Amino acid sequence: MKKLVTFLFIVVGALALALVIGRARANPGDLDPTWGDGGVARVAFTENGDVMTASHLDPDGKVVASGWVNGYPGDFGVTRLRTDGSFDPTFGDAGKVMNRFGDDPDRPNSSWSIGPRPGGGYLVAGERCDADYVVCEWLTAAYNPDGTLDESFDGDGWTTTTVAGAQGVYAWPPTNLLQPDGKSIVGGIVWQMDGDIDIALRRYNPDGSLDDTFGDGGLAVFDIDEQGDYIEYMALLPDGKILVLGGTGEVVDPFTYIGDHGFLVRVNGDGSMDNSFGAGGKVMWGEVGSGTGAEGMAVSSAGDIFVSGLTAGETEGTTDCAVWRFDAGGAMDMTFGEGDLLTIDDGGDEHCYTANLLPDGKLALTGDILPPAAERSAGGRIRERGGAGSRSAQVGGASRMSAASQVGTTADALVARINPNGTLDETFGDGGLLIHDVEEQDNDGTIALVQPNGMILVIGRVIDLETGIDDIAISRFQGDAWPTVGQLDPTWGDGGSTIADITADEDWGNAHVLMDDGRYIVAGWVGVPGDFGVVRYRSNGRLDTSFGEGGKVITAFSDDPTLVDVAWAAVARPDGGLYVAGDTCDADYVICELGIAAYRADGSLDTAFSGDGLATVSTALGPTYAWPGRAVVQPDGKLVVGGVVLLENDVDLLLARFLPNGTPDDTFGVDGVATADLGQTENLMQDLMPLPGGKFLAVGAFGDYNDPLSAEQVAGFIARFNADGSLDMAFGGGDGYTSWNQTGLGALGQHALATPDNKLLIMGRQATADGADCTLQRFDMNGNHDTTFGDGGLVVLAGSANVRCLEMDYDGAGRIMFGLQDLPPEEERADTATARAAERLARRVGARTDGPATQQEEVPGNIVGRVMADGTLDATFGDNGLVRPSLADGWGLIFNLTVQPDGKTLVSGDTLFEFVTARILGDGPAARTLMPVVRR
């Protein structure tokens, strides 16, 4: 029984031709009726047979395909289709170009790869061979955007290249790479005199000459393994290095090998091997006789490397489609799929040739399924030679297609879609697969492209079983519904969110920091009784395994397991490391010192900071505690942390400044510590923000004292400190601070932002008769309340019986993203750790449990919102300005929010037992770009 699998993928080939699904509405994987004829565009250059071997998607959405056309010996053929699948009449002769290079009509000219050229043209590469298709040379042609040959390339638009001392050279991978400087990289193989096959890269200048700064005179040859080495795919990385995928195995002839290993090689920009990648510059997997083969590759913007290919099937003599994932350093991801790979077995002999990343982070695969084949053609491509013009004879043996017809069955195209974690996407086709049969003929799907709108183009071929003539089909399949602004970003983690279990006990994600390189760090209170816990995520939400142990670090300030260490703030260091601040306390979490841990970029403690990477703040006044969720690294590298100091029946504000080596800065306060009593009973600092001139803004609340860790909130405040730690008495009403309590029932200042017009925006909470409101207020830089903002100076973001205000950030378009919690009323919440509130003080109420707490039936709610610069809710975002993301089956409670430079919003928190993160889409051009960027 064939499975009908629909793919969000552009498959360019005869493979995707005639899948007709009788549904009343379009579903992912349905043929797109607006493309070609009912979803299929047929291409025929001549009646002699045509094979499309490579394709390219233009920035304007046009599809360009190249191949070996006009039968045997054949010509270069290039076609360009408009966005509706019709031929582009501005290209060549009604959308098609055929070229034969040289004067000998018996010499095969076959095209095997394509890539863009500067100015919008195309570089097409292949082979020109003797009449028997044995001895070949590389043939490279440059086309203008209109399909004419670009005569600025080597004088007539084409050039040939060979390797001295070799029996022959052959084109191989289907893609050519265009560097930002206009130079092009083309791959191939070299048949050495001793019969060995090596891989080769060559780099051309825009004028068609070889670039002598690359390799040896423009050519770099690599011998990967003692067996034959075949290059299958290439990708250009952001740093200019080249990632090469290939396979090794027993050589049958230059065109055929019996694969047993896959390999990845990273090449420097000068053509030398990058020995920092994998082991000595390469990564290999598989074993002799394993049938392992590597065919296609996709590289995400986060550096993930996805490889498609094949592995030995459970039935002897069969193969299964296989997919592996590697990190940017070449380490195989053992969490991907089942153990280390995903296999697809539909009962036949499955090969996956092309892998491409979809805009939502999923992976599209194309290939074929057919009866077992004794040998496979390298690259999965039919390479024919021989004098009679036969297109049924493969180089070195019977082709896969002809093997299918010999046993009375047809070869079909295989299309699949997989999730980022290596599982089949069951929303696609039949359990994630589509077996695509075209007119009951032999067909395959050798090439796949992905359009920015999520549609999939499949390029393949159809072979008439009676005539043996190839035809070309390019089909387009519908994609999923496009995610909209305010929805979870499917390219982050697993469908937009992540869960990270740090310890076997409770883990709370209290603080976060977005690093300059796009990595995201969450820190908090992990385990019982508690340690600092830090997790670093890559830009796609996966754990960054180059940090700590598997992306996680746990730090204790002493060897005493009964003591409590809790992280409450995090800030990036200029060297790529970070500081984490919090409390280090006695076993009852009563007597504490404010503690700081300094981490290097790899997660290890920086022993250049205070000798062991750890420092504490102590004063003769009393115990000290960390409070704000932020710390500050000044331009001179000094670290400033905020907190409170416990006096007898009083709590004062505290600021401490450290030099980069971890010693207190004696130019700040007294021995590096400054304290301030703003005149109320208890002063609690919720946020700390740097101001121009080296000054600092403290945000918090006055309260009636309960205990060192809690108070009844009386009023909110903002206070300004000078660069030396003294209270700036020019701020506010001459007291160094401004306070508010509009309802008379209590208020809190929670988080601060500096506006583009040099004002202070303060998020806070005010008590009401029915519960509380989350509010925004605006002040000038001297602490004067701006009553023109909102309603008399106040904007109410949301109100309920127990709303909690978190953090806010600008989205790059002048709007403010903010995060809230809308918790159940107090009487409906269990009196356990699950009753935590958003404010740092409420998170400290009560002792931690001796073991994992029990989750209650009542699930807390998250709110993420967006307001305009004037404080009005942005009705274009979510439901009248608000969205309510549900994380970890409803148990994920967010505490932290920040906006990436591309306008996407990151939030983080915990479920009580694990850290959680999520990313939310914005609506600017960058924030709506889901494509993880496949670099070619």
What's the pLDDT tens digit per position in 636-681?
999 999 999 998 878 899 999 999 999 999 999 999 999 999 976 7
- pLDDT at res. 491: 83
Judge whether 159 and 218 are in contact, CB under 8 Å. Answer: no
Encoded tokens for 79: 């076609």
If one compares 328 and 931, the residue with the highest pLDDT of the two is: 328
If one compares 267 and 444, the residue with the highest pLDDT of the two is: 267
Q: Work out the pLDDT band at 711, boundaries 50, 70, 90.
A: low
- Tell me 121's DSSP state: -
Q: Work out the pLDDT band at 420, boundaries 50, 70, 90.
A: confident
Distance CA 425, CA 432 (A): 5
Query: Which residues in 497-518 are b (16+ Cβ under 10 Å) and which e?
Result: bbbbebbebbbbbbbbbbbeee
Mean pLDDT of the chain: 84
If one compares 925 and 469, the residue with the highest pLDDT of the two is: 469
Average pLDDT, stretch 551-575?
Answer: 96
Lowest mean pLDDT among 202-216, 522-536, 571-585, 921-935: 921-935
Residue 879 has pLDDT above 70, yes or no: yes
Judge whether 839 and 823 are in contact, CB under 8 Å. Answer: no
Closest CA to 896 of 573, 521, 640: 521
Average pLDDT, stretch 109-135?
Answer: 94
If one compares 520 and 923, the residue with the highest pLDDT of the two is: 520
> Using CA of residue 304, residue 305, residue 308, residue 314, what is the dihedral sign?
negative
Q: Work out the pLDDT band at 302, boundaries 50, 70, 90.
A: confident
Q: How many CB atoms lie within 10 A of CB 60?
A: 8
N residues, the chain: 936
Residue 750 has pLDDT above 90, yes or no: yes
- pLDDT at res. 181: 96
- pLDDT at res. 426: 87
Lowest mean pLDDT among 111-120, 140-149, 155-164, 845-854: 845-854
Distance CA 640, CA 634 (A): 8
- pLDDT at res. 704: 74
Distance CA 637, CA 635 (A): 5
Closest CA to 695 of 665, 720, 671, 670: 720
Residue 627 has pLDDT above 70, yes or no: yes
- pLDDT at res. 799: 72
Closest CA to 330 of 364, 299, 301: 299
Residue 853 has pLDDT above 60, yes or no: no
Question: Beta partners for 703?
Answer: 682, 713
- pLDDT at res. 686: 92
Judge whether 54 and 112 are in contact, CB under 8 Å. Answer: yes
The DSSP H or E segment spanning 739 is: strand 737-740
Give Cα 714 distance to the centre of its chain: 45
Lowest mean pLDDT among 272-276, 466-470, 551-555, 591-595: 466-470
- Virtual torsion, Cα 138, 139, 140, 146, nearest 10 deg: -160
Closest CA to 233 of 175, 154, 149, 305: 175
From residue 439, how far is each of 30, 107, 464, 904 by CA, in Å?
A: 17, 33, 9, 45
Average pLDDT, stretch 102-108?
Answer: 92
> What amino acid occupies position 633?
V
- pLDDT at res. 8: 25
Tell me the backbone φ, ψ of residue 890, rounded to 5 degrees. 95, -10
Residue 845 has pLDDT above 60, yes or no: no
Lowest mean pLDDT among 3-12, 734-743, 914-923: 3-12
Judge whether 806 and 894 are in contact, CB under 8 Å. Answer: yes
Average pLDDT, stretch 380-406?
Answer: 29
Lowest mean pLDDT among 42-51, 424-433, 453-462: 453-462
Give Cα 285 distance to the centre of its chain: 24
Q: Work out the pLDDT band at 465, boundaries 50, 70, 90.
A: low
Average pLDDT, stretch 376-396?
Answer: 31
Distance CA 76, CA 98 (A): 6
- pLDDT at res. 3: 22
Distance CA 415, CA 458 (A): 9
Q: Work out the pLDDT band at 52, boundaries 50, 70, 90.
A: confident
- pLDDT at res. 441: 65
Residue 573 has pLDDT above 80, yes or no: yes
Distance CA 583, CA 708 (A): 13
The model carries a pTM of: 0.73
User: Would residue 550 be called left, alpha or beta, if left means φ above 0 and alpha means ψ between -120 and 50 degrees?
Assistant: left
Average pLDDT, stretch 239-263?
Answer: 91
- pLDDT at res. 429: 78
Q: Work out the pLDDT band at 837, boundaries 50, 70, 90.
A: very low
- Virtual torsion, Cα 507, 763, 690, 893, nearest 10 deg: 10
Residue 218 has pLDDT above 70, yes or no: yes
Judge whether 687 and 636 are in contact, CB under 8 Å. Answer: no
- pLDDT at res. 400: 31
- pLDDT at res. 708: 54
| Residue 477 exposed, middle or buried by CB count within 10 Å (0-12, 13-18, 19+) | buried
Encoded tokens for 767: 């008590």
Distance CA 405, CA 391 (A): 14
Average pLDDT, stretch 150-179?
Answer: 94
Q: Work out the pLDDT band at 270, boundaries 50, 70, 90.
A: very high
Q: Work out the pLDDT band at 19, boundaries 50, 70, 90.
A: very low
Q: Work out the pLDDT band at 394, boundaries 50, 70, 90.
A: very low
Judge whether 574 and 560 are in contact, CB under 8 Å. Answer: no
